[in-house]
Structure 1
Amino acid sequence: IRQIPRCLCLSPTYELALQTEKAIEQRGTFYPSAEELKLACAVRGNKLERVQKISEQIVIGTPGTVLDWCSKLKFIDPKKIKVFVLDEADVMIATQGHQDQSIRIQRMLPRNHSVLKFAQKVVPDPNVIKLKHEEETLDTIKQCYVLCSSRDETFQPPHTIAQAMIFCHTRKTASWLAAELSKEGHQVALLSGEMMVEQRAAVIEHFREGKEKVLVTTNVCTRGIDVEQVSFVINFDLPVDKDGNPDNETYLHRIGRTGRFGRRGLAVNTVDTKHSMNILNGAQEHFHKKIDRLTQMLWTRLRK
């Protein structure tokens, strides 16, 4: 009997979709008929032949490509889907394009298929499972800040660290900073959303392999990138929402790129204006965690 897709998982980014695919493949080896468990990744750049349907039981992808596979290309019959997963639902809801596409996909599913009513619009009377994710993440991460009089004076990662990720607010800033760090002799990789997916995959793979020690990126890497060696995160720009208000959720996910797998990590925030200091104070209040100023004495102690 020919297999057809039964499970559909939507992720907000290409990188997160690939990571989910890899995690399912690893866990799938314990499935009684592992050789029969097949996955397809519906992401930009993954070209398929013009076949009528695909046979993989699980499809993981980003909303735009999944929508194309369901409606335009007819690779997937959404009426046959039994399980629908909306990964990182808060991002999907907050991002207009993702929200619209996800709703269109959900409407194609069987009528009795009820998934999050996008918080209230998607599930009446839901079962809620709460995880103390914030506390668990922050307990293994030391948070600090440095005061800078200008951007050129911003704190730089030392050459002795394992690997570091530096987050910037815009692509322009990320490109400039990567160039400046390269001049200082750092092995630097740059990752931002306008790059082709093949380029992004190559950059992340090189970083995982340790070919570059510093990854400068925008929020494209905030979620879904797990690299064990990352011991250091720098918020070159503190995260804000579209109205310029503190974005504590993004802050949590950014610094959560370190302190993974029970290891200890360090997050350093650069502060160069009164506004950025206010954002930092907002994070302290939100997470009930003191963020100390990084002095030479503290820096020496943390590096031991």
Structure 2
Amino acid sequence: MGFNRPSKIQETALPMMLADPPQNLIAQSQSGTGKTAAFVLAMLSRVNPNNTFPQCLCVTPTFELAVQTGRVVEKMGKFFVNVNVAYAVQGNRVARGTVIKEQIVIGTPGTLLDWCFKLKFMDIRKIQVFVLDEADVLMSKQNFSDQSVRIQRALSQDCQMLLFSATFEDPVLQFAKRIVPDPNIIKLRREELTLSNIRQYYFECENKEDKYRALCNIYGSITIGQAIIFCQTRKNAKWLYWSLVKDGHQATLLSGELTVDQRAVVIQNFRDGKDKVLISTNVCARGIDVKQVTIVVNFSLPTKGLHVADFETYLHRIGRTGRFGKNGLAFNMVEKHNVPLLFSIQEHFKIIIKRLDSEDIEALEEIED
């Protein structure tokens, strides 16, 4: 798979996850650092292929992340004969009375809850490894948080529990400690949270039309491998998509309005390199691991409420580029009245986000050097 040596999170967490007897773990790890491969390896190490019932359970906040994690399991377990994955996600219809025989089940909280308790597709007491991925996202949605806790409470006492989160604000850490008994804890220092290999810039703009002009100047000046452009609302994402298409630019749109199947096709086409530019709402900010993404554009800054920056979402968004230590670029389109939001992001992560003039083509071209 191209792994020559462990990443920092793998080096620290794997000895704990693979220990005998099993140890519980709460770990802070950003996307692109190799944490999925780490907990997948832990799950595979605990599976007995001769037992045809679920032995490992992985909870993720989105359909996209569930499918992506499953792909890693399939790739890493390629030579592990008779070990299979089942997807407990919306749209995967399983007939009543079915007994799940796959050893690893990956899914979203609501569907997993149905599989375990309502439809009784599996015996949750036989689960040996329980993984909660992107716990900060799970916790941010009340029903996800409650559903995850309900699943965890039904597990056997000797089930190994592994929880991962990109951020560890106090509420997230409290949730993690509530759900994982006697854990080892791996927590990053604040200065380690920002991806230093991603250069971050901003354009000060008057309105969305001004932002659009700045975006077109980036298009014209920088060689784009693949790019993700984030909008805060579906309405803005649609407007931007049709504006780009009308002006002859190739782009594709991903939003929560699409069906599960449509979202899967859009993401697969982007992964395969058929589409170079993906416009998305926050549904895509987490769990989209496409190594060719070189540029992330925040067409609007992520916010919580009117005048509060959403630091966690900002981190996840720009984390779509600069995967596994590669260099990446992040551009922020900021209205004048939102510049204080940008400054609060700088202050939170102790970074400098450089200002650029979108009309200075020479300066834009120099960014690539």
Unaligned runs of at least 5 residues, structure 1: none
CA distance in structure 2 between the partners assigned to 1:86 and 1:181 by the alignment:
38
Is 2:244 the counterpart of 1:181?
A: yes
* Equivalent residue number for residue 108 of structure 1: 154
Aligned partner letter, 1:37: V
Root-mean-square deviation over aligned CA pairs: 2.1
Aligned ranges 1:18-97 → 2 under 5 Å: 18-29=67-78, 34-97=80-143
Identity among equivalent pairs (%): 53
Contact in 2 for aligned 1:134/1:252 (Cα 8 Å) = no
Contact in 2 for aligned 1:114/1:123 (Cα 8 Å) = no
1:158 to 219, 226, 230: 219
Number of aligned positions between the proteins: 300
CA distance in structure 2 between the partners assigned to 1:83 and 1:191 by the alignment:
33
Decide which moves more: 181-190 or 121-130: 121-130
CA pair 134-227 structure 1, distance change in 2 beyond 3 A: farther
CA distance in structure 2 between the partners assigned to 1:38 and 1:242 by the alignment:
43
CA distance in structure 2 between the partners assigned to 1:120 and 1:243 by the alignment:
31
CA distance in structure 1 between the partners assigned to 2:114 and 2:191 by the alignment:
35
Contact in 2 for aligned 1:79/1:110 (Cα 8 Å) = yes
* Equivalent residue number for residue 20 of structure 2: none
Q: Could you tell me how far 1:151 is from its partner in structure 2?
A: 0.7
CA distance in structure 2 between the partners assigned to 1:42 and 1:113 by the alignment:
20
Q: Could you tell me how far 1:15 is from its partner in structure 2?
A: 0.6
Is 2:256 the counterpart of 1:207?
A: no
Task: Kindly provide the CA deviation profile for residues 142-177 of structure 1, in whole angstroms up to 9, marking residues without a partner as x.
Answer: 100001111111021405412111111111111111
Contact in 2 for aligned 1:284/1:291 (Cα 8 Å) = yes
* Equivalent residue number for residue 367 of structure 2: 302
Q: Could you tell me how far 1:102 is from its partner in structure 2?
A: 1.0
Is 2:201 the counterpart of 1:144?
A: yes
Task: Kindly provide the CA deviation profile for residues 121-149 of structure 1, in whole angstroms up to 9, marking residues without a partner as x.
Answer: 22354210134697376211110000111
Q: Could you tell me how far 1:89 is from its partner in structure 2?
A: 0.8
Q: Could you tell me how far 1:186 is from its partner in structure 2?
A: 1.2
CA distance in structure 2 between the partners assigned to 1:138 and 1:59 by the alignment:
31
Is 2:296 the counterpart of 1:250?
A: no
TM-score by length of 2: 0.76
* Equivalent residue number for residue 191 of structure 1: 254
TM-score by length of 1: 0.92
Contact in 2 for aligned 1:140/1:265 (Cα 8 Å) = yes
Contact in 2 for aligned 1:164/1:234 (Cα 8 Å) = yes
Structure 1 segments of 4 or more deviating over 6 A? none
1:128 to 185, 195, 205: 185
Aligned partner letter, 2:178: K
* Equivalent residue number for residue 351 of structure 2: 289
